[in-house]
Amino acid sequence: MEYLQAGFIILGILAACSEYSGGQIRTTLSTIPWRGLQLSSKYLALAIITMPVAFIIAASGVIYTFIMMRDTALGIEIDTMIETLIGATGYLTLTTLLSAAIGALLRRTTPALVVLLGYYFIVSPLSRDFLPSIKNYFPDTAGYYMYMPPSSDEINVLTPMQGTGISMIWTLIFITAAIVFYCKRDA
């Protein structure tokens, strides 16, 4: 899931920033004067598109793992597999929406890519070691617990519901900020 999320980050950023690169945002704002409604609708459409794609990709990963492990004596519980698929789908969808919100805040593709990919692949892994008391409240770490149930030897971990809640809070904070700034700024 580590490198898979990069594609969903890019999808979210492109969905938010593509209108700014060619100047199409002016046409959009001319035809739809209600900016908050327009951006909210864009996020809803992005979520509707992302969910089935994320589910198919997560399911293909689970099926591939099952095929590769068919000769082992390890059994796969259907309930755990369904929870993992739902959690992975939710995590990838929330990551896409968070990326779209940050893309809408920055309005440029390259800075948004640098910020988000830098955070997910450099800053967050390094800061987990230096800030162990708050690492579970980072959006990517909380999202990890959405699809990966905690093992019995881990302490200070989140349940899947707590991870979902924290990830949703991060996403809603950035979506709210994006809508507020989108309504206040010029195109």
At 36-53, the pLDDT tens digits run 888 899 999 999 999 999
Alpha-carbon torsion (171, 175, 176, 178), positive or negative: positive
The position carrying tokens 């770490």 is: 141
Phi, psi of 126 (to 5 degrees): -70, -40
Q: What percent of the chain is modeled with pLDDT above 90? A: 43
| Cα–Cα distance, 94 to 82 (Å, whole number) | 18
Phi, psi of 33 (to 5 degrees): -75, -15
* pLDDT recorded at residue 26: 79
How many domains is the chain built from? 1
CA-based R_g, the chain, Å: 18
* pLDDT recorded at residue 10: 94
Which letter does DSSP use for residue 123 in this model?
A: I
Q: pTM here? A: 0.88
Residue numbers of the domain that contains 77: 4-184
